[in-house]
Every structure is written in C-alpha cells, then in structure tokens.
Amino acid sequence: MSIHPSAVVSPSAHISPDVHIGPFCVIEGDVNIGPGCVLESRVVVKDGTTLGVNNHIFDGVLLGGLPQHVHVPEVPGRLTIGAHNTIRENVTIHRALVPEHTTSVGDRCLLMVNAHVAHDCRLGSQVIVTNNAMLAGHVHVDDHAYISGAVGIHQFCRVGAFAMVGGQAHLVQDVPPYVTVDGLSSLVVGLNKIGLRRAGYDQGVIQTLMAAYRLIYRSGLRWAEILEQLRTRFPVGPAALFYAFLSTTARGIVSERRAPPGATIKLREPEEAVPERQVRVKFG
C-alpha cells in the first residue's frame, strides 16, 4: 500500500494492500477500496462508499458526499462504484438519500471533468459522462449510453442503452434506447447508428431497430397500440429492449425533431418584396 504522508486515512477504512493514495486525500472510516485502485491528489472518499477493483480516481474528486436535498436524514444511503472505472478531475458523486438505497456506478465507465452524479442515480456499465454534465437525483443511465458535455438531466429521468445525448441538451423525459438526442433542440433525431456500428451491431440488426424506431415515432398510432406492436413484432433480440423500456416509462419519452409532412412555415423575403408569406413545404 502506498499512502502519501499528507493523506488523512481513517484506521477504520478497509483498503486493499496495493492501493495508491496520493497527497492530501481524505478517506473516512466507513469506506471500502478494492485492489488496484489509484487515487490521485485531493480525492475525498466519504463514509458509505465502496470502490471495486482497478478504479482510477483523479484529482479533486469527491465520492460519497451527502445528498443535495432539503431533508437529508441522519443516516443516508450508500455509494457503490464497480470496477475499472476512470473518474476524472473534480467529479462529484453523492450517496443515496435513505439508508436502504444506493447510488451506483457500474464497470468500465468514464466520467469526465466536473461531471455531477446526484443521489440515487444508477449508471450501468461502459457509460460515458463528459465534462460538466449534471445528473439530478434518481436518474438512471443504461449500459453504453453517452452523455455529452453540459447536458442537464431532470430528476427521475432515464437514458436507455446505447443512446447518445448531444452537448447542452436538457432532458425532462426518458430517452429511449439506441437513439440520438440533438443538443440544440433536445429532441430525438434518429438512431445512434455510429455507436451501434462501433459496438458491433450488423446492418440487419440496425435495420430491425430502425423499423422499431419508425413504429414508435412515425406510425401515428396511439401509445397503447405502439406498445402492443412492439411487444408482438419485436419479441426477441436488441429491438425487444424498446418495449421493455417504453412500457415502464413514467415521464414519457423525448419527442422526435422531424417536422410532420406538409408543415407550414413562414419565409421572410427582401424588403422590396412582399414582407411575409406562407409556404407549404413537403418533408421527406
């Protein structure tokens, strides 16, 4: 075990023999740090925190802070971080609000500079959360999702597996699996095809996902009819995740940006022409 002389480590903490703890770190008593973990300088690990194996925690990170809530109980919940995660500078991850609950981060995630993960969040595995993203309480992010810079996610929202959320998006509803959210509009703009190809999905699977996507966003069916068709037409394989996700949404899902066919928009012409007129534009 390598502990810098300036670090403050509680004798009650459970720390594996090969852990590296850098200068000015603070490790409280009710803490478990697994083998192979590296804590750079000024890392604070608060009570109620467990780290799995081979996590690399960079400078200024705070793990296990009290929930930012007006009614914090005397005994809050816990924070559990899996294995092989990289948590970059000044990230904050808070404990759950009540004792029987846990904030959790899976395996092989990358949390970049200044990201914030609030109380009772659940991050799956191989999730990427980039700089200055903010996850409010009770947010769930499924495996392989990508949260871009400065994204804000409202409490109790979910982000599905392999979804890609563009920079500066603000989310107040659930993001279905496999889709891309445009950062400027905060609306869905199609499947995350690049992410799916990188993950090894072949063209046949992507075409099936596209068929399910069109059913959800472009069929014009009622919600109950969409769910029933998803359940019957895509009972197995990756596309089955759409039904599992959508049938359990409590906040609804993010809408598609695509304008409806025949939408009317206004075009402004030069001053010498007619000031304003309505034009019917056909989309796709």
Q: What is the pLDDT of residues 59-68, one digit of tens each?
A: 999 999 999 9
When mean pLDDT is compared across 196-205, 242-251, 274-283, the lowest value belongs to 274-283
> 94, 119, 140, 144: which is the annotated catalytic residue?
119
Tens digit of each residue's pLDDT (9 = 90 or more) over 195-225: 999 999 999 999 999 999 999 999 999 999 9
The 8-class DSSP code of residue 94 comes to E
pLDDT at 4: 98
Q: Which residue among 137, 160, 166, 183 is the active-site one? A: 137
pTM: 0.90
**What is the rounded average pLDDT of the residues 26-35?**
98
Spell out the CATH class of 2-138: mainly beta
Extents of the domains making up the chain: 2-138, 198-246
Q: Confidence band (pLDDT; 50, 70, 90) for 98? A: very high
Alpha helices in 219-280 (DSSP H): 223-233, 240-246
User: Which residue did the predictor score with more confidence, 239 or 282?
Assistant: 239
Catalytic-role residue among 47, 120, 142, 174: 120
Catalytic residue list contains 137: yes
- pLDDT (0 to 100) of residue 275: 47
Buried b (16+ CB within 10 A) or exposed e, 157-189: bbbbbbbbbbbebebebbbbbbbbbbbeebbbb
Residue 259's pLDDT is what? 62
Q: Give yes or no for a contact between 4 and 21, defined as CB atoms under 8 angstroms apart.
A: yes
- Listed in sequence order, the residues at least 6 apart from 173 whose beta carbon sits closer than 8 Å to its beta carbon are 157, 249, 251, 252, 253, 254
Question: Residue 183 to residues 114, 148, 169, 171, 194: CA-CA distances in angstroms?
Answer: 19, 8, 4, 10, 17
Length of the chain as a residue count: 284
Q: Which residues contact 108 (CB under 8 A, 6 or more apart)?
A: 82, 83, 84, 85, 125, 126
**22 in active site:** no
pLDDT at 258: 80
56 is a catalytic site residue: no
